[in-house]
Amino acid sequence: MFHSEDTRFLEKNEALGSTDINAYTEFIGSEKVERLKNMAGALMNKEWAHVNSTFSGGGVAEMLRSVVPIAKGLGINTKWYCIEGEEEFYSITKRFHNIIQGVDQKFTLEDLFETYIKTNRDNFANMVIDEDFTIVHDPQPCASIVHGNYNSKTVWRCHIDTSDANEMIWNFLLPYINNYDGVVFSMPEFVKGGIKKPVYQITPAIDPLTTKNRQREEKEAYESLNDLFVEHEIDPERPIVLAVSRYDIHKNQKTIIKAFKQLKNSAAIKKLKPQLIIVGNSATDDPEGMEMYKEILFEIDGDTDIYPLLNIPNNNENIGALMKVARVFMHISTKEGFGLVVTEALWQGTPVIGSNVGGIVLQVIPSKTGYLVEPFDIERIVGFLKHLLTNKEEQEKMGMQGIEHVRENFLITGLVAKYIKLMRFLLGTDFPYFKI
Ligand code: UDP
């Protein structure tokens, strides 16, 4: 547990409550639910902590909002702690994040030592983390392993693709990473060299019980969307092509707009009158979001069939409903960790045109759950859009296959099971007879 003057952490955790694992029986069956209970049984009364840099916005926070209550419901005392920094810290860690994903951006030694290290040190100065098992998420709090006081088995969970990381930054991070007891990546391809600790693969997942991911009927989805559609003058009768993501350089929204504009001009499509809805938000740790939003508006250039929406009201209900009513979901990032939005769209029964990068390739199975393209291959994107918009039967069949693909591989219960396995392994729970 953290020992600190600052009670902010504890307040947040108490607000999260716990979830009864039996509620997932309808999605994964009673056998898997019982197995999960048995696995967690060995960890009863153990303490588990998560450390990251934001309570809301982005995939990590989204997953922790489910993982923490499920683990609590399974009897593992689980906490979620969030580091806090000045605006400068978020601006730097955003660039840090980009550089680790291979984008060339300016970075100074002052950024590293006077802001990044200082924020990590300040956040952890008066704290001892003595939960049994701690997962530190992403680069923002990575250095806390050295500047904090962890008495736990601690792993670094990296949600991004580090394979093209800038050498200098990677070399700066490596000594920190190598202080952990292990490292978790979403895919083996994301791992850059130099890690001397065991590396585990765990893919992200979605929670079917959340407002966003509950499966709804189409009629109900349209009803939920009524206010949003009225406000933005979106016509519910016209087919919807949807893209949802943070406004971020890697999400490549400009290519989606270019492809959609080209699609509109094709004769086969004109009478269908499709519309493109682009939904984006800006996370509290993402100061570049507004800048990117402005660039998107510039690219749209007044096209009235394209609706760029920013921080929509009633976010979770509306995102889930939009994913349900969309005919096609687009996610053609140039770099992607996993792309939870793809999972969410598939779970609502919507096929995805996704780029051939990162975790998207685990989710978009060509001709089965959607189509894969190179991120800037506008011709092929337009071709697949045309195909899906004009073949309702195939679109629906792929939608059903997408749901099953997610059920098998990317539901939150599977993610918790993998974390529990790792926790049992690192705490020695699985090897009782070897204990001295
Ligand atoms: N999201 C949202 N509203 C938005 C944009 C995104 O709720 O306007 C959510 C989205 O549904 C998903 C998460 O933010 O759950 C984004 O996760 P993903 O893994 O796709 O990308 P990341 O932001 O972590 O790079």
HEC states along 171-196? HHHHHHHCCCCEEEECCHHHCCCCCC
Q: Do both 402 and 415 map to the same domain?
A: no
**Phi then psi dihedrals of residue 278, to 5 deg:** -110, 115
Q: Helix or strand or coil: residue 417? A: helix
Q: Do both 340 and 389 map to the same domain?
A: yes
| Ligand 1 neighbours by CB, cut-off 6 Å | 58-59, 62, 244-246, 279-281, 315, 319, 337-341, 344
Q: Do both 255 and 295 map to the same domain?
A: yes
* Spatial separation of the C-alpha atoms in residues 160 and 338, rounded to whole Å: 8
Distance 55 CA to ligand 1 centre (A): 13
* Spatial separation of the C-alpha atoms in residues 366 and 387, rounded to whole Å: 13
Q: Do both 21 and 146 map to the same domain?
A: yes
**Which pair of tokens denotes residue 395?**
């679109």
Query: Residue 77 forms beta bridges with which residues?
Result: 47
Q: Is residue 286 part of a domain?
A: yes
pLDDT at 112: 86
Q: Do both 23 and 70 map to the same domain?
A: yes
**Which pair of tokens denotes residue 233?**
């003058």
Q: Do both 180 and 287 map to the same domain?
A: no
* Spatial separation of the C-alpha atoms in residues 179 and 114, rounded to whole Å: 21
pLDDT at 296: 95
Q: Helix or strand or coil: residue 166? A: coil
Distance 60 CA to ligand 1 centre (A): 9
Q: Do both 138 and 228 map to the same domain?
A: no
- Structural contact between residues 136 and 142, judged by C-beta atoms closer than 8 angstroms: yes
Q: What is the dihedral of CA 80, 81, 86, 91, to 10 degrees?
A: -50
- Residue located nearest, by CA, to atom 9 of ligand 1: 58
- Structural contact between residues 103 and 249, judged by C-beta atoms closer than 8 angstroms: yes
pLDDT at 3: 44
CATH number of 18's domain: 3.40.50.2000
Which of 340, 346, 350 for mutating ligand 1's site (highest number of atoms within 8 Å of CB)?
A: 340
Q: Do both 244 and 269 map to the same domain?
A: yes
Q: What is the dihedral of CA 364, 367, 370, 374, to 10 degrees?
A: 70
DSSP conformational letter for 254: H
Distance 151 CA to ligand 1 centre (A): 33
- Structural contact between residues 141 and 51, judged by C-beta atoms closer than 8 angstroms: yes
Q: Helix or strand or coil: residue 432? A: helix
**Phi then psi dihedrals of residue 431, to 5 deg:** -125, 55
Q: Do both 51 and 168 map to the same domain?
A: yes
DSSP conformational letter for 306: E
**Which pair of tokens denotes residue 315?**
């976010």
pLDDT at 1: 44
* Nearest atom in ligand 1 to 310's CA: 8
Q: Do both 123 and 259 map to the same domain?
A: no
pLDDT in tens, the chain (436 residues): 444 444 445 445 657 889 999 999 999 999 999 999 999 999 988 999 999 988 877 789 989 999 999 999 999 999 999 888 888 888 888 888 889 988 888 888 888 888 999 999 988 887 788 899 999 999 999 999 998 889 999 999 999 989 999 999 999 999 999 999 999 999 999 999 999 999 999 999 999 999 999 999 999 999 999 999 999 999 999 999 999 998 888 899 999 999 999 999 888 898 899 999 999 987 655 667 888 999 999 999 999 999 999 999 999 999 999 999 999 999 999 988 899 999 999 999 999 999 999 999 999 999 999 999 999 999 999 999 999 999 999 999 999 999 999 999 999 999 999 999 999 999 988 754 444 4
* Spatial separation of the C-alpha atoms in residues 414 and 436, rounded to whole Å: 32
Q: Is residue 343 part of a domain?
A: yes
* CA dihedral sign of residues 287, 293, 299, 301: negative
Domain extent at residue 170: 10-205+411-426
If you write DSSP's letter for every residue of 194-224 in order, what string do you get? Answer: T--S-EEE----B-TTSTTTS---HHHHHHH
pLDDT at 5: 46
The widest CA-to-CA distance across the chain, in whole angstroms, is 75
pLDDT at 404: 97
* Nearest atom in ligand 1 to 316's CA: 7
The per-type count for the chain, helices as H runs and strands as E runs, is 19, 12
Q: Is residue 1 part of a domain?
A: no
- Structural contact between residues 248 and 288, judged by C-beta atoms closer than 8 angstroms: yes
Q: Do both 181 and 35 map to the same domain?
A: yes
Q: Is residue 165 part of a domain?
A: yes
Sheet of 240-246: strand order equals 306-310, 275-281, 240-246, 328-331, 352-355, 370-373
Sheet of 47-52: strand order equals 77-82, 47-52, 133-137, 153-158, 182-185, 199-201
* Spatial separation of the C-alpha atoms in residues 26 and 207, rounded to whole Å: 13
Q: Is residue 431 part of a domain?
A: no
* Nearest atom in ligand 1 to 342's CA: 20
Q: Do both 382 and 415 map to the same domain?
A: no
Q: Is residue 171 part of a domain?
A: yes
* Nearest atom in ligand 1 to 159's CA: 24
Q: Is residue 4 part of a domain?
A: no
CA distances in angstroms from 91 to 88, 96, 259, 287, listed in the order given: 5, 9, 31, 6
pLDDT at 4: 46
Amino acid 125 reads A
Count of domains forming the chain: 2
Query: Residue 372 forms beta bridges with which residues?
Result: 354
pLDDT at 88: 87
Q: Is residue 434 part of a domain?
A: no
- Structural contact between residues 57 and 246, judged by C-beta atoms closer than 8 angstroms: yes
Q: Which helix (H) or strand (E) holds 51?
A: strand 47-52
Q: Which helix (H) or strand (E) holds 74?
A: none
